[in-house]
Structure 1
Amino acid sequence: MSFRTTFSIVVIAVFGPANWGGAADKIRFATEVQPLFAQRCLECHGPDKQKGGLRLDRLDSLLKEQKSGASAVVPGDLDKSEIIRRITSEDPDEVMPPKGGALSADEIGKLKDWVASGAAFERHWAYLPLVGGALPVVKDKQWGRNPIDRFVLARLEKEDIKPSPRAAPHILIKRLYYDLIGLPPSPAEVDAFVSDESSGAYAALVKRLLASEHFGERWGRHWLDKARYADSDGYEKDNPRPNAWHYRSWVLKAVNADMPMDQFAIEQIAGDLLPEASPRQRLATAFHRQTLTNTEGGADQEEFRNAALFDRTETIGTIWLGLTLSCARCHTHKYDAIPQSDYYRLFAFFNNADETNYDLPILGPPFEKYKEQKVAIEAELKLAGEAIEEAKAKHVDAFETWQARLRERFAQENAPAFHDLAEMEVTSDIEGVGFEVEESGVVQVSGANPDGMMTFEIMGKVGAIDEPVTGIRLDALTDKRLPANGPGRAPNGNFVLNEVELVRGNTRLAFGGAKATHSQANFDVSKLIDGSRDKTSGWAVAPQLGKPHHAILNLKEPLEVEDGTSLTVRLVRNYDGEHTVGRFRIRLMTGEDVEAVAPEPIRDLLALRPEERDDKQKEALLDHFLRNVHEETKALFAKRDEARKKMPKSPSARVRVVAERASPRTTKVLDRGEFLKPTGVEVKPGGLAVLPPIEGREEGKLDRLDFANWLVSQDNPLPPRVLANHLWDKLFGEGLVRTMNDFGVRGERPVHPELLDWLAADYRRQGWSRKKMIETIVTSATYQQA
């Protein structure tokens, strides 16, 4: 038989049942009568039902004169107390309770003694204020090692039972290892402990195990079980949660660091609402996201959102308050004094939080590398920014000249016109490529179509044009002879042109802008004139295939020409997969395509007189000139833009958390807990009437942080009792309250209420330290018994 089983039997035999303070021969309502009412009577005479108008959980109802003229209880008078007459009646139509069998003689005796002694009415023991109390007096002054032993020994002496002897060293070390870190000691560790006869050996072992990283793994798991931790969503899909482990890691680290239990609660319930919440505090709210998640097609998301809120409300009620709140979801609790409206007041706290994702920064080597890269890029950006600022001052005259020239060009309102080249010839640097030049100037390409670099040269002469050439127009045309109708020769009808050049004599003319009817993602038409022949720098038109497209390339400066001037246009393709243009047309442009020269917002600014522009408009105009027009500064902006692209992203993991809504939802009591059946009863966030009220940080407003603060406040007696009982359960195999999750009237009473209260009060006194509380328990003589 294990130590835990043995000790549990001893606890039950020696401790229970127990009175909550006072003399042993005095029947107390909270510990003797109320549990009896809860087990046998409240189903018909409680908060939910009041047959005959009688409630046995309220003193005013117990003392009230009923319709029959009798009162259920007349303090000190058994003959006039209707409850005594009914429980002792032999008439089957009158005896109470009517089902489940008559009360036992012992139960009847308790009720008689209670009424006879004055029927003192007390609140349920778990709701009473927490008082540490004085340590009991014991005869044996030698046995105890700390206050826990005083409580245990006092009961043993009262029953005339002697404590068990201390367990053998090899038993104690195994007990500690399994309880504190969940792992067995090695044979060498057992031998070393057994042979160490020093008085401090045991205490030193306890401290070493509490400091072990395995302590967090062992005790973190206890908490994760309560927090319903899961690595997958549940329901039919049960999708994995790849980053769920970050919350698990947070719990283990918090436990190893001995984060105070009040802070442990606050960060999980409302870490996102803390002032300047850290990433780890935001991560802690993943506690709320351990609910089931339904990702099935057609699922009603509002239904499952409410299901998650029910789970959050009831989980918090269980693990911190030790109450079965789920009963009150559908109706007023049948046994505990928890009306349905109280349930939805708690529910409202979580109804005002939205499920969201958070990019959690990842610390360690990846973060250090990120910081190094970030510093380097920031230095590069700083230098580029300084160079740009210098350029702004340096190129003021060029900026003014550019403005004047564009205002003049736009004032002419010279619409663009397009002109064919005369005496046109087309050649390629690739042998076997064929060209058919039609009368309209359209060129059909055929023959060889290899991968890699390929150049087409279109040579011709300027016809009778009276105006300067301002650009060229390139049409990419469709044809039934092309794959998928073209306009390219690739199997899907696409093409890639990497560069277009216009040459007069030996001079390559500069383009200043480009636009197209359509550009493929990452293959913008502007790349035709960027000076690069790289495979990734070109113009393409997917997915708009099987359609004609055109591009207009504006010269930076108008080109004066005469009739017969020779010009050459080069189309450069450097791409794999036969992406050659299959049918095209080249024409010269005269006049102004103002949209290509400058976008509409810039044209609007140029239309204003300089004195009419505000500072923001002046800056926008200058920025456009330096970024897109002036060659020297274009390179500076390009360099800065390239540096920005290289800026690393902070290493992060996307985790599931919650965040407070900007505008609270309206919360209404739901009929039978059905999300589609809200009643007309609207409730605001609030607490349970049986416990002290919640005080908010702001008057008239309560949120999850207020709730969390209240939960672990000095006024709330339940959490320290519940949490201390949890520790006792994990170390002894059974809690002082055996119904771990039910401290309500239907739950079992503490087998040693004074000890439970002392533990709960000491938990607080020691700053909510889990490790100190565990150390206190395991260093007691009670724990070390054989």
Structure 2
Amino acid sequence: MPLPAVVDYNFHIRPVLSDKCFACHGPDKNAREADLRLDTEEGAYKALKETAGMHAIVPGHPDQSEAYRRITSNDETIRMPPVSSNLTLSDYEVRLIERWIRQGAEYKPHWAFVPPEKTEIPEVDDDEWPVNEIDHFALAKMEMMGFKPNPEADKAHLLRRLSLDLTGLPPTEKQLEHFLADDSREAYERVVDELIASKAYGERMAMHWLDVARYADSYGYQDDDIRTQWPWRDWVIHAFNQNMPYDRFVTWQLAGDMLPNATKEQLLASAFNRNHKITEEGGVIEEEYRVAYAIDKTNTFSKGILGITMECAQCHDHKYDPFTQKNYFQLYAFFNNSAEKGLEGLVNSGPSKTPRLTITQADVDSVLQFINKAGDTSAVSVSVMGELDEVRPTYVLDRGVYDAPTERVYPGTPESILTFDSTQYASNRLGLANWAFSKENPLTARVFVNQLWTMVFGRGLVATVADFGNQGELPSHPELLDWLAADFRDQGWDVKRLMKQLVMSATYRQSSVVTKKHLAEDPENIYLARAKRLRLPAEFIRDLALASSGLLNPEIGGPSIKPYQPDGIWEVTSSGRGALSNYVQDHENALYRRGMYVFIKLTVPPPNMLIFDASNRDMCEVTRQRTNTPLQALVMLNDPVILEASRVFSGKLLQEAPQAKPRDLINHAFRRILSRDASEKELSSLESYYSDELKRYRESPADAEAFVAVGEAPHEKTVNVVEQAALMAVIHGLYNLEETITRT
């Protein structure tokens, strides 16, 4: 591999040093060897303590740099990294360091800790392809790497992709017909605006935020009982649908209770902080858990809002990033003054904890109209934030242990990110929120832009979405990330505008066809020369089946629901008490609500959701893994929701068009499920399968009766059971297609 003409510290050297050197010669003073720091210019340039007259790095002179001499030595007793570390530098890495030193060994601040600014929009050879600024950056990188963009996806695929990305639901037949018939230049933008304006948009956006906020319907730990944080979830959906600016959205959640004359809505928003696990077990030490809750809040803020691994500094100085343990507990101090208790009560402590907000029917009828109490006129309570009247002292905790206080510290933030100026910001959570949205803060805008980019494109501009530090991956398109972050910040933190910006781009509209060149040179689609095929999130798979079959209950918000679940899962565990000691399934319309409303018991999360990589919600998660396992195929084949959707769909088709040919019914189902017409080859295969199933069920009508018996939805009494079973088998097969559960 050829060396770069100019070696850059951030993009070439820092990753090597971070991987191979910082564990012993980095920020953690307790693990530092030979009193040598290689993560700072001052540390690398100063005279070595153990080698008189030598310096680790002498700019311009590799031969005089002891660090370079050590990494190239043949003597195992002095060669670095030491043999005992099991780390080695490749020949390329050695040559890279040699050239960097020869060129002056210039250190730079970590790229993510420099405030983003807009750079010039790059010029491209194909100036007809770009639709907006995103495309100029993407195409410039493609051209540099020898790629050309894919053609635009056909309209049917594009609408399905858009609808899933912006609402989490497949397009309706009417939407598909209108879009395919609209040949105007404004057709695409018109449907983007319609989807973003739909109520389902807020639900889709909230799904991501529920993972960030570790939302669940129980407390966790051994004595797992029910809690009622769902009104906060209703607020999140409402906030996204109202297009609340991101700075206000986060500020209310961090410190809504601290705003002047805080409203009930602002108090409700602060429930974000209280979604962590809470113990109700006898025998625990109250202070231990109070500290654990404050730590959880600190880690959620640092990971979800700042995109850094601050939790690594809870017990010692960070080994890779410039965060000390003192920095950690300065950040922790913002959350340490909560009036929350470590243990509230052991008997019937209720579905919320102090401080709590009680929401009455009068509130819902007036100031909190977005809350869906589902006809229940009784009050509901939510755990929210509240401060102590006096400041609770905060100390650095030795090894992070609750009962080992050492040095006292005060609210603050890592200087390497942005110094917390107590003359400019109040030393509380509201001040922290204002600090996070300062124009000088280098992380907040970048991190959220990258989260949404990952949601839409399947891979972040920074692939390590939760880690913008030294161990995180470098941005694939740094200028694009900075341009989008600065634009998002300067345009008032407008989330809907950003989402529209992303999906309007020609980069987004490309087909997902994979060429041999793509597979050979860019299998991860880092250079954005095609659309990425993405396995649908767990909730979307449920929603797709319900929506396409006509079973979906589109009700927004309200308490979580308990759908079909294998018997005994809750009961065979030793966790859960009260309402959560036994699984009591819901019925009627509640069974057909969207996946985001499925009840999450922290100790026993919904199994089908976990198999499809849903977050178990016990901690902040900013992106989900995507796997492809045999268990997922078993779920699709046996999940009662999929089988019931197949049964109901087949019955409706036969009832609505009793004289229709099987071919037409199959194509209708295909169109509803996959949002396109089947090809002749596909239709022939499906017709053949239908004929085989029809023959089988005619010979064994009892099997047909058993097959269509699944589910609680009303049965279509006027249809032929044998014909329904055969058509149901075909539809069940369609739901099991790889294309069905993939966003292409």
TM-score (norm 2): 0.63
Q: Does 1:281 align with 2:261?
A: no
Equivalent in the alignment of 1:32: 12
- Aligned pair partner of 1:347 in 315, 321, 332: 332
- Aligned pair partner of 2:421 in 677, 695, 700: 695
How much does 1:339 deviate?
0.4
**In 1, Cα distance between equivalents of 2:14 and 2:466:** 19
How much does 1:762 deviate?
1.2
Q: Does 1:58 align with 2:40?
A: yes
Equivalent in the alignment of 2:498: 773
- Superposed, 1:405-554 pairs within 5 Å as none
How much does 1:751 deviate?
0.9
Partner of 2:160: helix, strand, or coil? helix
Question: What is the root-mean-square deviation of aligned Cα atoms in Å?
Answer: 2.2
Aligned partner of 2:163: which letter? Y
Equivalent in the alignment of 2:438: 713
**In 1, Cα distance between equivalents of 2:358 and 2:494:** 27
Equivalent in the alignment of 1:129: 115
**Could you list the per-position Cα deviations for residues 33-79 of structure 1 after superposition, in whole angstroms to 9, with x for gaps in the alignment?**
11111111111111222211110111111111113121111101111
**In 2, Cα distance between equivalents of 1:338 and 1:369:** 42
**Could you list the per-position Cα deviations for residues 441-479 of structure 1 after superposition, in whole angstroms to 9, with x for gaps in the alignment?**
xxxxxxxxxxxxxxxxxxxxxxxxxxxxxxxxxxxxxxx
Q: Highest relative contact order (Cα 8 Å, sep 6+), 1 or 2?
A: 1
Equivalent in the alignment of 2:24: 44
- Aligned pair partner of 1:753 in 475, 478, 484: 478
Q: Does 1:94 align with 2:78?
A: yes
**Could you list the per-position Cα deviations for residues 660-686 of structure 1 after superposition, in whole angstroms to 9, with x for gaps in the alignment?**
11101010100101101111x000111
- Superposed, 1:562-581 pairs within 5 Å as none
Partner of 2:15: helix, strand, or coil? helix
Equivalent in the alignment of 2:147: 161
Aligned partner of 1:248: which letter? R
**In 2, Cα distance between equivalents of 1:365 and 1:333:** 46
Equivalent in the alignment of 1:357: 355
The answer (yes or no) to whether the contact 1:367–1:651 under 8 Å persists in 2 is no
The answer (yes or no) to whether the contact 1:359–1:652 under 8 Å persists in 2 is no
Equivalent in the alignment of 2:392: 665
**In 2, Cα distance between equivalents of 1:361 and 1:308:** 24
Equivalent in the alignment of 2:101: 115
Equivalent in the alignment of 1:210: 196
Quickly say closer, same or farther: Cα 1:361–1:694, change in 2 above 3 A: same
Greater helix fraction, Structure 1 or Structure 2: 2
The answer (yes or no) to whether the contact 1:179–1:731 under 8 Å persists in 2 is yes
Quickly say closer, same or farther: Cα 1:363–1:216, change in 2 above 3 A: farther
- Superposed, 1:582-593 pairs within 5 Å as none
How much does 1:187 deviate?
2.9
The answer (yes or no) to whether the contact 2:398–2:405 under 8 Å persists in 1 is yes
- Aligned pair partner of 2:222 in 231, 236, 249: 236
Equivalent in the alignment of 1:683: 409
**In 2, Cα distance between equivalents of 1:704 and 1:365:** 26
Aligned partner of 1:39: which letter? D
Q: Does 1:295 align with 2:276?
A: no
Partner of 1:654: helix, strand, or coil? strand
The answer (yes or no) to whether the contact 1:332–1:338 under 8 Å persists in 2 is yes
Q: Does 1:71 align with 2:69?
A: no
**How many residues are treated as equivalent by the alignment?**
485
**In 1, Cα distance between equivalents of 2:59 and 2:367:** 78
**In 2, Cα distance between equivalents of 1:63 and 1:740:** 33
The answer (yes or no) to whether the contact 2:115–2:439 under 8 Å persists in 1 is no
**Could you list the per-position Cα deviations for residues 573-625 of structure 1 after superposition, in whole angstroms to 9, with x for gaps in the alignment?**
xxxxxxxxxxxxxxxxxxxxxxxxxxxxxxxxxxxxxxxxxxxxxxxxxxxxx
Partner of 1:312: helix, strand, or coil? helix
Quickly say closer, same or farther: Cα 1:24–1:144, change in 2 above 3 A: farther
Aligned partner of 1:72: which letter? A
Aligned partner of 1:46: which letter? G
Aligned partner of 1:743: which letter? F
**In 1, Cα distance between equivalents of 2:35 and 2:187:** 64
- Superposed, 1:291-330 pairs within 5 Å as 291-330=276-315
**Could you list the per-position Cα deviations for residues 684-723 of structure 1 after superposition, in whole angstroms to 9, with x for gaps in the alignment?**
1111121222234678x51110011001110101011110
Gapped runs of 5+ residues in structure 1? 1-16, 371-649
The answer (yes or no) to whether the contact 2:20–2:88 under 8 Å persists in 1 is no
Q: Which has the larger radius of gyration?
A: 1
**In 2, Cα distance between equivalents of 1:363 and 1:758:** 46
How much does 1:32 deviate?
1.3
The answer (yes or no) to whether the contact 1:366–1:651 under 8 Å persists in 2 is no
The answer (yes or no) to whether the contact 1:695–1:706 under 8 Å persists in 2 is no
How much does 1:189 deviate?
2.1
Aligned partner of 1:668: which letter? Y
**Could you list the per-position Cα deviations for residues 400-445 of structure 1 after superposition, in whole angstroms to 9, with x for gaps in the alignment?**
xxxxxxxxxxxxxxxxxxxxxxxxxxxxxxxxxxxxxxxxxxxxxx
Partner of 2:395: helix, strand, or coil? strand
How much does 1:362 deviate?
4.0
**In 1, Cα distance between equivalents of 2:494 and 2:254:** 19
- Aligned pair partner of 2:129 in 128, 134, 143: 143
Of residues 154-163 and 689-698 in structure 1, the stretch that sits farther from structure 2 once superposed is 689-698
Partner of 2:63: helix, strand, or coil? coil
Equivalent in the alignment of 1:267: 252
Partner of 2:396: helix, strand, or coil? strand
How much does 1:259 deviate?
0.6
Aligned partner of 1:192: which letter? H
The answer (yes or no) to whether the contact 1:78–1:116 under 8 Å persists in 2 is yes
The answer (yes or no) to whether the contact 1:766–1:773 under 8 Å persists in 2 is no
Quickly say closer, same or farther: Cα 1:717–1:222, change in 2 above 3 A: same
**Could you list the per-position Cα deviations for residues 219-263 of structure 1 after superposition, in whole angstroms to 9, with x for gaps in the alignment?**
10100111100110000111101x311110111100111110111
**In 2, Cα distance between equivalents of 1:306 and 1:50:** 29
Quickly say closer, same or farther: Cα 1:652–1:95, change in 2 above 3 A: same
Aligned-residue sequence identity (percent) comes to: 43
**Could you list the per-position Cα deviations for residues 635-675 of structure 1 after superposition, in whole angstroms to 9, with x for gaps in the alignment?**
xxxxxxxxxxxxxxx97432111111110101010010110
Quickly say closer, same or farther: Cα 1:658–1:130, change in 2 above 3 A: same
How much does 1:369 deviate?
14
**Could you list the per-position Cα deviations for residues 5-27 of structure 1 after superposition, in whole angstroms to 9, with x for gaps in the alignment?**
xxxxxxxxxxxx99xxxx96211
TM-score (norm 1): 0.60
The answer (yes or no) to whether the contact 2:113–2:416 under 8 Å persists in 1 is yes
**In 2, Cα distance between equivalents of 1:213 and 1:145:** 27
Quickly say closer, same or farther: Cα 1:727–1:365, change in 2 above 3 A: closer
**In 1, Cα distance between equivalents of 2:478 and 2:26:** 25
